[in-house]
Structure 1
Amino acid sequence: MSETTAGTHAPLRVVVLVGSVRVGSTAPAVTEWFTGIAERHGGLELDVIDLAEVDLPLAMPGWGGRPGDRATAALAGVTPRLAAADAFVVVTPEYNHSFPAALKNVIDWHRAEWQAKPVGFVSYGGIGGGLRAVEQLRLVFAELHATTVRDSVSLHGPWSALGEDGEPSDATVAEGAAKGMLGQLVWWGRALRTARAALPYQV
């Protein structure tokens, strides 16, 4: 079996990037619900990166500069994991019609790690369910040469928000959305992994 053929059967490495750093955030519960579904999907190797646990400064070095000690330590725990990923799922709330600053920060600290890889979204919030955050993130990832999948998962409070049992109030619809998004993510993830192995992506 060739290396490319073998790669198509290897588990898809998916980084789940948790974007909220607020104390008492709903993000961990939403992430736990989603990863439970993703684990049942099969064929995925999940790696959860919670930005609340990443001490990444806002200040970035200029062109040719080097990150400071604090940034170097934070990036050492994040960058290799992003680089090893075949695909990403971003879990994000909506803050003031947009996405969290911490999420934009970690995105901007990286570039090649996102290129020619698919990105899916799980958003949550009030009546908008985080959809405005997702639409803005699509523009950001397009600039970074990533491919965002069409379907996303959106939890709208209070209609489909998580209950005390950790499940959405309309669990069937929400789980269906998650499975649909994962199906698209897997397709793009495998296709782009094969393409990158055959021919390095050119920027």
Structure 2
Amino acid sequence: MSRFLVFLGSARDSTPPAPARLGLRVARACVELLEADGASVELIDPLAIELSAVFKPHFAYAKSKVPEALASLADKIAAADGYVMVSPEYNHSMSPALAHLLNHFGSSLYAFKPSAIVTYSAGQWGGARAAVNMRTFLAELGCLPVSAMIHVPKAQEALDEDGCFREDPDRWAGYFGRTLGQLGWWAEAAARQRDIRDPHEVSPAFQRAPDQRNAPSSGD
């Protein structure tokens, strides 16, 4: 059974805009469809996670002093087989709430696993422009996004508060399913390969400093 985390990219619970927490409907739809396919799924809601007012990532703490919220989520990220990233669009880019949350953890926790990009809007574009930016971001984290994406325009009309499709549920499920099916396929393939060979032996994580990324210079 594959294990997935569905990250909700919104920490706002107020209006305007209305309706509030529109992304939660989209995230719930993803959870339901993945579970219907036999996966184990957990929704990660930024509102349920207490983060420090001053940004300090998980890996910057001494091991004995990591806040419980960060330690728990780090374990979940490490144990997952793949991720669904649900985001609205802010200035043609991904949600700052989603980027803020994901940036608390080093790429070695996400690496060698697939991700799926899901965007939404109350208007007609479905957050598609944010998805372009998200591909680069997720690739840098190491959880490469699958090729198919989900964009939900006018999400308040497409989904009710429980994440159920208001009309044409079979067509919507098929549309979501193309992306989530790719995610599941790659997650299973990556999990099998991780059992065969530890990916961190092939490509060790950077543990010391950013200069570990640098090519050797003639002065070394």
Q: Same fold (TM over 0.5)?
A: yes
The residue that corresponds to 1:187 in the other structure is 185
Residue 96, structure 1, aligned to residue 86, structure 2: no
Counterparts of 1:41-56 in structure 2, within 5 Å, are 41-42=37-38, 44-56=39-51
Identity of aligned residues (%): 30
Unaligned runs of 5+ in 2: 14-19, 205-220
Q: What RMSD in Å do the two structures reach over aligned CA positions?
A: 2.6
Given candidates 150, 168, 174, the residue that maps to 2:147 is 150
Q: Which of 4, 7, 14 is equivalent to 1:17? A: 7
Distance, in Å, in 1 between the alignment partners of 2:155 and 2:78 is: 37
Task: Select the residue among 22, 28, 40 that pairs with 1:26.
Answer: 22
Measured after TM superposition, the shift of residue 122 of structure 1 is: 2.0
What displacement does 1:74 show? 2.3
Q: Which of the numbers 56, 59, 66 marks the counterpart of 1:60?
A: 56
How many residue pairs get aligned? The number is 191
Shift of 1:121: 2.0
Aligned to 1:81: 76
Larger Rg: 2
The CA distance in 2 between the partners of 1:129 and 1:158, in whole Å, is: 8
Matches within 5 A, 1:105-144: 105-110=100-105, 111-125=107-121, 126-144=123-141
Runs of 4+ in 1 over 4 A off after TM superposition: none
Q: TM-score, normalised by structure 1?
A: 0.83
Residues 65 and 187 (structure 1 numbering): CA distance in 2 closer, same or farther, change over 3 Å?
closer
Deviations 1:70-104 (Å, cap 9, x if unpaired)?
A: 97232023111111000111111112211221211
More strand by share: 1
Amino acid at match of 2:173: E
Report if the CA contact (8 A) 2:6-2:30 is conserved. no
Q: 1:79 is aligned with what amino acid?
A: A
